[in-house]
Structure 1
Amino acid sequence: MARFTDRSAIVTGAAQGIGEVYARALAAEGAKVVVADLNIERGEEVAKQITADGGTAAFCRVDVADPESAAALAEFTVAQFGGIDHLVNNAAIYGEMKLDLLLTVPWDYYKKFMGVNLDGALNVTRAVWQQMAAGGGGSIVNQSSTAAWVYSGFYGLAKVGINGLTQQLAVELGGSKIRVNAIAPGPIDTEATLNVTPGSIVKDMVSRLPIKRMGTPQDLVGACLYLLSDDASWVTGHILNVDGGQIIR
Structure 2
Amino acid sequence: MGRVQDKVALVTGGASGIGLSSATLLAKEGARVVIADFNVEGAKEAVNKIKAQGGEAAGIFLDAGDETSIKEAVEFTVEHYGKISVLFNNVGATNLKKDLDVVNMDLDEWDRLMNLNLRSVLLGSRFAIPHMIKAGGGSIINTASMAGFFGDSIRAAYGASKAGVVNLTRYLAAQYGRHFIRCNAVAPGLIFTPAAQNNMPPAVLDIFAKYNALPYHGEPDDIGNTVLFLASEESKFITGQTIQVEGGHYIANPTISDFEEFMKKKQG
Q: Alignment partner of 1:246: what SS?
A: coil
Matched, 1:138 2:138: yes
- Mapping of 1:145-160 within 5 angstroms? 145-152=145-152, 153-160=156-163
1:43-63 Cα offsets, whole Å, 9 max, x none, are 111112211221000012112
Q: Is the Cα–Cα contact under 8 Å of residues 95 and 192 in structure 1 kept in the other structure? A: no
Percent of pairs with identical residues: 37
Sort the Cα spacing of 1:96 and 1:36 in 2 relative to 1 into closer, same or farther, 3 A: farther
Q: Residue type matched to 2:180 in 1?
A: K
Q: Residue type matched to 2:239 in 1?
A: T
Matched residues in 2 for 1:221 and 1:79: separation?
26
1:247 Cα deviation after fit: 2.3
Partner of 1:201: 204
Q: Residue type matched to 1:161 in 2?
A: G
Partner of 1:163: 166
Which of the residues 184, 189, 192 maps onto 1:189?
192
Structure 2 segments unaligned to the other structure (5+ residues): 253-268
1:144 Cα deviation after fit: 1.1
Greater gyration radius? 2
Partner of 2:49: 49
- Mapping of 1:18-97 within 5 angstroms? 18-94=18-94
1:100-132 Cα offsets, whole Å, 9 max, x none, are 223222222221121111111111111111001
1:185 Cα deviation after fit: 1.1
Matched, 1:212 2:215: yes
Matched residues in 2 for 1:200 and 1:56: separation?
40
Q: Is the Cα–Cα contact under 8 Å of residues 85 and 137 in structure 1 kept in the other structure? A: yes
Sort the Cα spacing of 1:41 and 1:169 in 2 relative to 1 into closer, same or farther, 3 A: same
1:163-190 Cα offsets, whole Å, 9 max, x none, are 0111111111112111000111111111
1:222 Cα deviation after fit: 2.2
Q: Is the Cα–Cα contact under 8 Å of residues 209 and 244 in structure 1 kept in the other structure? A: yes
Q: Alignment partner of 2:179: what SS?
A: coil
Q: How many residues align?
A: 249
Matched residues in 1 for 2:165 and 2:86: separation?
18
Partner of 1:245: 248
Q: Is the Cα–Cα contact under 8 Å of residues 184 and 230 in structure 2 kept in the other structure? A: yes
- Mapping of 1:122-133 within 5 angstroms? 122-133=122-133
Q: Alignment partner of 2:42: what SS?
A: helix
Q: Residue type matched to 1:214 in 2?
A: H
